[in-house]
């Protein structure tokens, strides 16, 4: 049975350890890969001049930086994440925005002034909550009655060939990872509309709206097939499957991943489908 407290502890340890390293090292490449998602999510959220925004699970700060530009000097951005290594990078990027506050903290316990936030935003941060019910209930207290929520999360793994294609090539050499329980945190843990609706409504939010959006990710970041292979082995499901294995196995897997991705090469790009939800809600009542 899923243990939210253990999940919570495990996630904090992971994102302050091995999980953070490739995101810091490959920040520019990963930002390029996810740029269209960030643009779509921020456009839907529409942060306005003077607003107070919380960017939850902000990672290395790409979305926080753009939101800070939009709210301007009269606004405020709270860039929040549990990962100290990721937030160190975010602090560098936001150093020119004194109205952006860097907070290394847990969304399930951190205290903002009650009813102070106009917008709660996240690009791929909320799926990793160890105890999402507790986190959203806590974040509800941050929201103004007129506030709004917009977050991006992945749809089902089977709808996301950017991750599935290299991982299936990996499984030619490695046993499949244990299947996550429905309530376990992970990249695809918010794929179920029913589950997300339950979490949000139990946390004091209105029933959410789900907008499906599809992209074609260039997982190479403009660096061709070898760049795509390196990205797949460093970040995402394939990287997790390879965790702890020796370099010899990584080399073997790289050959299979290279062959699997070769049909998707167009010039310096390697584009595969990515499928997300853009989820909107607001405080209930």
pLDDT of residue 62: 97
pLDDT for 5 beyond 90:
no
CA distance 9 to 12: 5
Comparing 154-158, 175-179, 251-255, 280-284, the range with the smallest average pLDDT is 175-179
Comparing 15-29, 78-92, 154-168, the range with the smallest average pLDDT is 15-29
Interval 219-234 mean pLDDT? 95
User: Which residues lie below 8 Å from residue 52, measured CB to CB, with a gap of 6+?
Assistant: 71, 75, 76, 77, 78, 116, 117, 118, 119
Dump pLDDT digits (tens) for 230-245: 999 999 999 999 988 9
What class does CATH assign to 4-160+179-218+273-281? alpha beta
pLDDT of residue 181: 82
CA distance 219 to 225: 9
HEC per residue, the chain: CCCHHHHHHHHHHHHCCCCCHHHHHCHHHHHHHHHHHHHHHHHHHCCCCCCEEEEECCCCCHHHHHHHHHHCCCCEEEEEECCHHHHHHHHHHCCCCCCEEEEECCCCCCCCCCCCEEEEEEECCHHHCCCHHHHHHHHHCCEEEEEEEEEEEECCHHHCHHHHHHHHHHCCCCCCCCCCCCCCCCCCCCCCHHHHHHHHHHCCECCCEEEEEEEEEECCCCCHHHHHHHHHHHCCHHHHHHCCCCHHHHHHHHHHHHHHHHHHEECCEEEEEEEEEEEEECECC
DSSP type of residue 49: T
pLDDT of residue 2: 66
pLDDT for 1 beyond 60:
no
Dump pLDDT digits (tens) for 113-170: 999 999 999 999 999 999 999 999 999 999 999 999 999 999 999 999 999 999 999 9
CB 114, CB 140: distance < 8 Å: no
Query: Where along the chain do its domains lie?
Result: 4-160+179-218+273-281
Q: Across the chain, what does the average pLDDT equal? A: 95
pLDDT of residue 260: 98
- pTM score, whole prediction: 0.95
CA distance 157 to 188: 6
- The pLDDT confidence band at residue 52, using thresholds 50, 70 and 90, is very high
C-beta atoms surrounding 123 within 10 Å = 26
């Amino acid at each position: 049975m899923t243990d939210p407290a253990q999940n919570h502890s495990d996630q904090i340890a992971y994102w302050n350890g091995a999980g953070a390293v490739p995101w810091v090292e490959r920040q520019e490449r990963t930002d390029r890969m996810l740029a269209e998602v960030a643009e779509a999510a921020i456009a839907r959220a529409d942060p306005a001049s003077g607003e107070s925004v919380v960017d939850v699970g902000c990672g290395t700060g790409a979305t926080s930086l753009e939101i800070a530009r939009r709210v301007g000097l009269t606004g405020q951005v709270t860039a929040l994440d549990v990962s100290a290594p990721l937030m160190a990078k975010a602090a560098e990027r936001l150093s020119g925005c004194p109205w952006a506050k860097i907070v290394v903290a847990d969304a399930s316990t951190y205290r903002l002034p009650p009813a102070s936030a106009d917008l709660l935003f996240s690009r791929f941060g909320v799926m990793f909550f160890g105890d999402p019910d507790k986190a959203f209930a806590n974040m509800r207290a941050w929201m103004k009655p007129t506030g709004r929520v917009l977050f991006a999360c992945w749809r089902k793994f089977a709808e996301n060939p950017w991750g599935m294609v290299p991982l299936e090539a990996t499984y030619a050499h490695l046993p499949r990872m244990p299947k996550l329980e429905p309530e376990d945190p992970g990249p695809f843990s918010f794929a179920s509309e029913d589950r997300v609706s339950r979490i949000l409504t139990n946390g004091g939010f209105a029933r959410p709206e789900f907008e499906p959006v599809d992209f074609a990710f260039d997982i190479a970041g403009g660096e061709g097939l070898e760049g795509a292979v390196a990205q797949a082995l460093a970040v995402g499901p394939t990287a997790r499957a390879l965790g702890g294995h020796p370099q010899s196995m990584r080399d073997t897997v790289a050959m299979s991943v290279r062959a699997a991705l070769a049909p998707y090469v167009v010039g310096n790009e390697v584009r595969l489908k990515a499928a997300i939800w853009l989820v909107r809600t607001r405080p209930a009542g």
